[in-house]
Chains A and B, each alone.
Chain A
């Protein structure tokens, strides 16, 4: 695997829409060709080379390409958007839509990321060492198709609306989450090692939530369903089981109604 390093040297005055920074677009290109890739600064068309210094080599395919993003990219959006293979390491914190619509490959964000990370993600891995913003692994505005595959790990906290309209895949959050966890979800799994606040699993049709810490306010639409011993993400423990959201439509499988599951560690 070849590695190309892009370093922010000339920070944009406005937010930079850089959906071209992906292994898929970089693959097979020289540093000069990468510098010519289009980006938008605000609503003005520009090129990558105006902001970034580009060093190293790319592989022939996305799978053979690793991108290291250095410098202050807190005003850069869409890093790794739609990437299908390869790797990306973001050394600092960054803005909206990291790994949005990604279908494969790996992204490691060493700082914090803003909202809409992994929007409608289909596959691959996204690891965030800092905190994630709102709408992590959620659907795009108005859409009903959230994260459907792949894996997200957040070592810090995440914001609100995590996993909204999620249909598959897995999200693990080592810290806490804010309101509206897995709202409208129809599948997938979210593990919160810290605490949750309220509206956990609101209007959830299917899917699973594990909360290791506390839930500030439970949804009235979730019904207690006994206690179970489980091993979750390598941790064994006793969990209170709830099913819901009772106010929402649910599918039937072999005559039995399928509810969403909420497990809270006791």
Chain B
């Protein structure tokens, strides 16, 4: 394989504590190396910023609800098509791009690993077909567990070992990566016309509370020692006053410790925190509670979060929180689609316009920025847009601009129609902090990689790690004259390497790799009861047999990469 040496770049690598030193990064056989031979191809990165490839911890980029969005929003493709160009296949879509465009766009911004945040287990085959067709980036997918009948039945009696055995089985057959929880119990309650808006609202028929589901899944996750923590979208998303439910959810992790061999320290990952940090009692007195939520997270080291930044775009919301999407279509009167998944989950899709002329949208924008600016440890807070819910992932460079420049934030605040309301309902105006490139590397590389249990592979530039490298045309030694230059530099990389292959040069796709599907192979003791329960559920309830359920073989997972976990000793 080719050797490369990236010379004289300003390197930012939290894994090794490198803060902008001028260093050479050597690449050999797909890995970061100590040194390379004299025949290595030289990349001149003088005056540029060099970081590890970025890691996306939460995005909706593959699967049935994403595709439902593509199908029912032809207008999202209007004027957003990219024709075939060089190595690139054609693509289309703004908030829900085609699979190929998704891979290219991530790569061009320097992202080399991404996680699909909600895989309906029954449709894992569809998820993996889309992952297969998304070029360049390594991907994993989180199956959803929070409304799954098996989980509800086991956890009602606090059967952690059975829950763990079921999780291990499901991860194996769906080639899943982590335990995702969406509106625990609430989506299932919706089948009875109800919802769970607090952690103590019981789920009808199953007679279990969201609190019991969340605690049980954390315990099962740590029983197995999975690479990632339990990853949660709590109850009561998006409602004024929802921050109390968020804090109640976070408190469930108190006293719990991470047990795993991957270096992960958190037991609970709170996703798209922006949507869960609202105060007020209605849309009129709607206000930010980012401080209350980040204060709690700052104090409790076993929690990590991602932001869910609102980017002020027209986008497509989609979540396995089916009742929330039904509620949302009642608010904005735009079209609604729903995708029920038998015993497992139920996703909804609604287009949404985050207008800078609407005070609630502008306050949401401010909350999304307050959270990372208020977090004391950037290794525990990661930048996301909950793509496409708060905005498309292609807006990351803009979010980075807002975080790195107070001037850019002030420009946007002054452009809001209800500027005064934004300033009175949030504290965005008084936050002077500007993110450093080192903190950016923590929030987009080292941090998410560590929490995903991938810290040994990616998110850093230590010799031996995968050679995922992004080179940005951004000189940290010269002051930023115009914040727009930040957005421009982070939009299109000068060079991107994935597993040692140059995939992007001057913002264009120039190469591709045999992308990998990351999944977790958890070995557990033989559990006849869980086996019997699975057989019974398929015979009695599922509309398909077990043989048609598994995502197996080259068609679905052509290049699997398993993280091995052994929980048989427990």
Residues of chain A whose beta carbon lies under 8 Å from any beta carbon of chain B: 139-144, 249
Contacts and interface: CB of A to CB of B under 8 A. Distances in A.
B73 interface: yes
B335 A144 contact: yes
Contacts of B335: 142, 144
A141 B333 contact: no
A142 B75 contact: yes
A82 to B, nearest CB: 9
A140 B78 contact: yes
Contacts of B334: 144
Nearest to B76: A142
Contacts of A249: 333
Contacts of B283: none
B278 to A, nearest CB: 25
A141 B334 CA distance: 14
A243 to B, nearest CB: 20
Contacts of A141: 74-75
A165 to B, nearest CB: 11
Interface of B is mostly: loop
Q: Which of B74, B75, B335 has the most CB of A within 10 A?
A: B75
Contacts of B74: 140-143
Nearest to B330: A249
B72 interface: yes
Interface of A is mostly: loop
B75 A140 contact: yes
Interface string B333-358: 11100000000000000000000000
Interface string B51-70: 00000000000000000000
A76 to B, nearest CB: 20
Q: How large is the interface on B (under 10, 10 to 19, 20 to 34, 35 or more residues)?
A: under 10
B405 to A, nearest CB: 33
Nearest to A139: B75
B332 to A, nearest CB: 10
17 contacts: A139-B75, A140-B74, A140-B75, A140-B78, A141-B74, A141-B75, A142-B72, A142-B73, A142-B74, A142-B75, A142-B76, A142-B335, A143-B74, A143-B75, A144-B334, A144-B335, A249-B333
A249 B72 CA distance: 22
A143 B78 CA distance: 10
Contacts of B76: 142
Interface in B290-344: 333-335
Interface string B450-490: 00000000000000000000000000000000000000000
B406 to A, nearest CB: 35
Contacts of A144: 334-335
A143 B216 CA distance: 43
B86 to A, nearest CB: 15
Q: Which of A139, A141, A249 has the most CB of B within 10 A?
A: A141
Contacts of B78: 140, 143
A144 B334 CA distance: 8
- Kindly list the 4 A-B residue pairs having the minimum CB-CB distance in the complex, ordered from nearest: A143-B75, A142-B74, A142-B75, A141-B74
Q: Which of A139, A142, A143, A249 has the most CB of B within 10 A?
A: A142
A61 B73 CA distance: 35
A133 B319 CA distance: 39
A249 B334 CA distance: 12
Nearest to B83: A45
A249 B333 CA distance: 9
A48 to B, nearest CB: 18
B77 to A, nearest CB: 9
Nearest to A141: B74
Nearest to B333: A249
Nearest to A45: B83
A142 B73 CA distance: 6
Contacts of B333: 249
A112 B76 CA distance: 30
Given A140-B75, A142-B76, 6 more contacts: A139-B75, A140-B74, A142-B74, A142-B75, A143-B74, A143-B75
B311 to A, nearest CB: 20
Q: Which of B76, B78, B333, B335 has the most CB of A within 10 A?
A: B78
Contacts of A142: 72-76, 335
A161 B333 CA distance: 21
Nearest to A145: B75
Contacts of B73: 142
A121 to B, nearest CB: 15
A232 to B, nearest CB: 30
B536 to A, nearest CB: 42
Nearest to B335: A144
A69 B296 CA distance: 68
A45 to B, nearest CB: 8
Nearest to A119: B78
A141 B77 CA distance: 10
B328 to A, nearest CB: 15
A142 B334 CA distance: 11
A140 B80 CA distance: 14
A203 to B, nearest CB: 12
Contacts of A143: 74-75, 78
B335 to A, nearest CB: 7
Contacts of B72: 142
Contacts of A140: 74-75, 78
A140 B74 CA distance: 8
A141 B333 CA distance: 17
B491 to A, nearest CB: 25
A140 B334 CA distance: 15
Contacts of B75: 139-143
A141 B75 CA distance: 6
Contacts of A139: 75
Nearest to B73: A142
B336 to A, nearest CB: 12
A139 to B, nearest CB: 8
A144 to B, nearest CB: 6
A202 to B, nearest CB: 16
A141 B76 CA distance: 10
